[in-house]
Amino acid sequence: MESALKLDVGRARPDLRFAYSRPGLVTFKSVDAIAVDDAPGSVFARVWGRSIGPARSPEDAVHQLALVGADRLHVYPRDPESVTDLAPWHAALGVGLPGVAAGPATDGELVADVIVSASADEPAWLGLHRQDANHVAAPGALIAVDVPADAPSRAYAKIEEAIAWAGLPVRTGDVALEIGAAPGGAVMALAKRGVEVFGVDTGELAPNVRAMKGVHHLPIKVGALRWEQLPKRVDWLLVDVNLAPQVALHEVGRLMPKLAPTLVGAVFTLKLNDVSFVAELPVLAQRIAGFGFQSVRMRHLPSNRKEVCAVAMMRQRA
């Protein structure tokens, strides 16, 4: 998604100019100083912060980071799918920065990022960011999801990542409606949480998902779904249908008067079949907000491909 990232930054932050990059790492130059709490310039940036520069060795990283006064240390691979030896970095940094803790960050902490390449010929890259709601607490924004072997699709990971990233208050006994449910990855994840799920899709749910307690299948197109077919209460709406985002949101808009009175929040998976569609993201966010949601947040999650997750909250829960 690097091309999408560059387009998105160019739209949202025209003050930045593309600079040094490697696969999985993109830097930009700024005329003005970049603060450690600089807001992410793109929904496609897993981690966003002020660049410090390269470190040729763990000892070099210790020397540079000793000067910044970080509260938290995040060491992670530039490419999460590669085999990257982080042990020398953890060992050297643990000894050289004894007062800086590793592990998930808490809000307000100054986080030192050490982004390690799988190739010994390339330096690691150092950066700083302030932990807040714009940043995933885990190193490298890698949200750990334990996907069961019998999960029928990566939708299981997508919904679990969305819940973790946005801190969604999903409860046992909630009711969810998923548009585009087959073969049932997200349905399985929610059902395992004790949520009653109504899946709308002409495709079949996997047999093991269909057999789970609280799972209902409505084998119809979303365009044919009528108000009277909806459950009396819906707490969570999921939309992951293989339609252009404008078409999918048009169908959602038709259902919103029925859903809005009880809806807590919604998770939209917006398909980006063309990278130029990045320019439409603000319009889509505005369209979703127009349904009555109090807030809309977007992010490209680890399990997303050519798509973006949009989380919208209708009302707050403790």
Catalytic residues: 271
3-state secondary structure of 227: helix
In one-letter notation, the amino acid at residue 293 is F
Burial class (CB in 10 A: 0-12, 13-18, 19+), 124: buried
Q: Which residues pair with 270 in a beta bridge?
A: 308
* Half-sphere exposure of residue 73: CA atoms within 13 angstroms, side-chain side: 24
User: What distances in angstroms separate CA 65 from CA 125, 132, 158, 211, one per listed residue?
Assistant: 11, 21, 34, 53
DSSP 60: H
Nearest to 265 by CA among 304, 292, 301, 287: 292
